[in-house]
């Protein structure tokens, strides 16, 4: 039973939160679990008069650690040299580049538009410092697009790319076709039901085609089979599976570590290396940490040795998470779009038909069971009764929610009708449990022992349902008392997480990194200070809780972030 002090604190802190339901669309997303703001940034065109503004982040503000976040996204380069590279790649047909403008900024890239003399336009993607891994992220995305286009998938054409910073331009980049269309996210209110149903069908059919593509290994596909990194023409060489381009294998000094990055022919080794990379990082860089408030009122300082013990427990379970037969359909190496949100679905503004699927950065080929997944919100689409009588803002929200759910349910039903391979993964009774365990084991040590331990405990509880474990005892055992204690603590932990999530919603729906739209910044800053003072006053009756608040207020500048900023700055100077 929860102690009364915690229940009282939770009730008080919950009273500061306004609960609300937010419907998001992600068909399959490997990012951003570390708080990157990829799908939440505005995608409007910005005309730039000052050339230096092409290098800086201007699509939002951060309420804390802003210097760090802006530094991560500051990428200077030689604009004239980039324009010359575009002219060379396109040829003389369209003349010279007349101007370069910033079109959008996402979680990992800056998107520029280069306009030629006759009006022809080319898109240049410039990665931020946090995009990683260097060279492979750019080379793999360019090759992935080229490969998919040859397979007749609707993706932008690659004109040229450079995966080297030492190229006379000063940054990696990809030059791609400027797709003629608009994002699905920007057109919800103008689409008819028929358009949405058609989109759900075509996305499911394209995924059916993706799931049937045969790959021989796990990693990032495709990589050009090159004799040297300089051989970087998008239309030369054969395709092959290369090292994984997932940023979690290089993020925050992992590039310095001697860890397995693929390609893998063994699914089991892939699962083991996911845990091993975090063991090596924690062993090298991990320090004792206290979780942020209000979680730190539940547990004190946590030690990295405890996390490594959990990672080793994961590794004991890993050999049993997938079928032992590497040729089993659940082990089939599978490619999916890494972040298929409405922002990355481009449609015709006139007909609503699908034009292109963009942003394939960090795409990976992984075992089918780990790639499987569909939207979790599958409630039937339904509009409120007396729709025309409710306030306009509520009406717009209701219509958008209806259309999102219509897309969800259409995609779900079409997947069942067309994609038999995917359905086999979805019908596995423990596919989400196993995905959660692997995902938790791949996360960086941050003082949280609960997420990974909870995933481990749930996997052991359903051990008998795992493949090929008949007559094999579970390698991990937990006492009844340990399970009861963990269940109580986990329930409190999850309640604390919900309260903190609602705090963020209260502050203009800021992201975990503190990002808000520029137009909301001043209001959000004021609301954040009001929230902080309100919570401090609620904590003043309990000295221990007040100390936990003062030590662990989550929405403030972080010394660890400052150190990370210095690392980036020093790397830039080098």
> Residue 234: exposed, middle, or buried by beta-carbon count in 10 A (0-12, 13-18, 19+)?
buried
Q: What is the pLDDT of residues 32-49, one digit of tens each?
A: 322 223 333 333 343 444
SS3 content of the chain, % helix, strand, coil (to 5): 45, 10, 40
Q: H/E/C letters for each residue in 263-287?
A: CECCHHHHHHHHHHHHHHHHHHHCC
Q: Which pLDDT belongs to residue 251?
A: 87
Q: What is the pTM of this model?
A: 0.87
Measuring CA to CA, which residue among 154, 138, 108 is closest to residue 220? 138
Q: Which pLDDT belongs to residue 396?
A: 79
Which residues share a beta bridge with 223? 240
Asked whether the beta carbons of 115 and 101 are under 8 A apart, the reply is yes
Q: Which pLDDT belongs to residue 236?
A: 35
Tell me the DSSP string of 527-540: HHHHHHHHHHHHHT
**DSSP tag of 465:** G
Q: Which pLDDT belongs to residue 114?
A: 97
**Long-range contacts: 459-462, Cβ < 8 Å, 24+?**
459/317, 459/321, 459/430, 459/433, 459/434, 460/317, 462/429, 462/430, 462/433
Q: Which residues have C-beta within 8 Å of that of residue 169, sequence separation ≥ 6?
A: 77, 78, 81, 82, 85, 162
Q: What is the pLDDT of residues 6-32, one digit of tens each?
A: 656 666 666 555 434 344 445 555 443
Q: Which pLDDT belongs to residue 403?
A: 87
Q: Which pLDDT belongs to residue 269?
A: 97
Return the structure tokens found at 360.
Answer: 């394939």
Q: Which pLDDT belongs to residue 562?
A: 54
Residues in the chain predicted with pLDDT less than 70, given as ranges, are 1-50, 222-238, 376-378, 559-574
Q: List domains and CATH numbers for the chain.
A: 35-178 (3.30.200.20)
Distances (CA, A) of 269 to 219, 321, 397, 465: 12, 12, 46, 22
Question: CB-hemisphere CA count at 13 Å for 348?
Answer: 10
Return the structure tokens found at 370.
Answer: 């780990």
Determine the angle formed by the axes of helices 392-418 and 193-211, rounding to 10 degrees.
40
């Amino acid at each position: 039973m929860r102690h009364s002090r915690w229940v009282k604190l939770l009730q008080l802190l919950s009273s500061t939160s306004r609960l609300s339901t937010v419907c998001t669309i992600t068909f399959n997303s490997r990012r951003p679990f570390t708080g990157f703001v990829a799908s939440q940034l505005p995608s409007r065109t910005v005309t730039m008069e000052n050339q230096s503004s092409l290098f800086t982040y201007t699509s939002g503000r951060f309420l804390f650690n802003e210097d760090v976040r802006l530094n991560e996204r500051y990428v200077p380069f030689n604009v004239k040299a980039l324009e010359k590279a575009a002219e060379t790649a396109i040829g003389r047909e369209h003349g010279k580049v007349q101007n370069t403008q910033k079109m959008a900024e996402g979680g990992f890239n800056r998107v520029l538009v280069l306009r030629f003399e006759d009006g022809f336009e080319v898109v240049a993607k410039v990665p931020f410092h946090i995009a990683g891994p260097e060279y492979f992220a750019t080379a793999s995305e360019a090759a992935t697009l080229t490969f998919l286009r040859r397979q007749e998938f609707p993706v932008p054409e690659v004109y040229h790319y450079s995966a080297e910073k030492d190229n006379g331009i000063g940054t990696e980049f990809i030059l791609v076709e400027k797709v003629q269309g608009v994002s699905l996210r920007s057109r919800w209110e103008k689409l008819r039901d028929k358009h949405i149903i058609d989109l759900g069908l075509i996305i499911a059919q394209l995924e059916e085609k993706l799931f049937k593509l045969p790959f021989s290994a796990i990693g990032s596909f495709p990589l050009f089979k090159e004799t040297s990194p300089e051989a970087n023409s998008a239309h030369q060489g054969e395709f092959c599976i290369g090292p994984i381009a997932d940023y979690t294998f290089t993020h925050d000094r992992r590039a310095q570590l001697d860890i397995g990055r693929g390609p893998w022919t063994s699914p089991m080794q892939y699962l083991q290396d996911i845990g091993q990379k975090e063991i090596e990082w924690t062993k090298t860089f991990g320090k004792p940490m206290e979780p942020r408030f209000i979680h730190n009122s539940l547990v004190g300082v946590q030690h990295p040795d405890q996390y490594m013990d959990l990672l080793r427990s994961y590794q004991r379970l890993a050999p049993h998470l997938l079928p032992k037969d590497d040729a089993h359909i659940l082990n089939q190496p599978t490619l999916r779009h890494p972040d298929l949100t409405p922002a990355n679905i481009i449609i015709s503004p006139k007909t609503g038909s699908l034009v292109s699927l963009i942003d394939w950065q960090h795409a990976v080929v992984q075992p089918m069971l780990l790639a499987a997944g569909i939207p979790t919100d599958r409630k039937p689409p339904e509009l409120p009764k007396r729709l025309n009588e409710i306030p306009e803002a509520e009406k717009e929200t209701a219509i958008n929610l209806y259309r999102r759910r219509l897309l969800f349910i259409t995609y779900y039903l079409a997947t069942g009708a067309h994609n038999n391979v995917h359905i086999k993964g979805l019908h596995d009774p423990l596919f989400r449990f196993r995905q959660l365990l692997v995902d938790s084991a791949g996360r960086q040590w941050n003082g949280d022992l609960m997420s990974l331990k909870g995933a481990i405990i749930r996997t052991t509880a359903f051990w008998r349902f795992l493949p090929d474990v008949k007559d094999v005892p579970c390698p991990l055992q937990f006492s009844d008392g340990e399970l009861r204690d963990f269940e109580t603590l986990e329930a409190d932990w999850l309640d604390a997480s919900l309260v903190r999530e609602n705090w963020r919603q209260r502050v203009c729906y800021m992201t975990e990194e503190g990002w808000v739209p520029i137009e909301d910044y001043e209001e959000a800053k004021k609301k954040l200070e009001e929230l902080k003072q309100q919570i401090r006053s609620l904590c003043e009756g309990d000295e221990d809780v007040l100390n936990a608040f003062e030590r662990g207020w989550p929405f403030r500048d972080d010394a660890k972030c400052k150190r990370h900023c210095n690392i980036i700055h020093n790397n830039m100077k080098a």
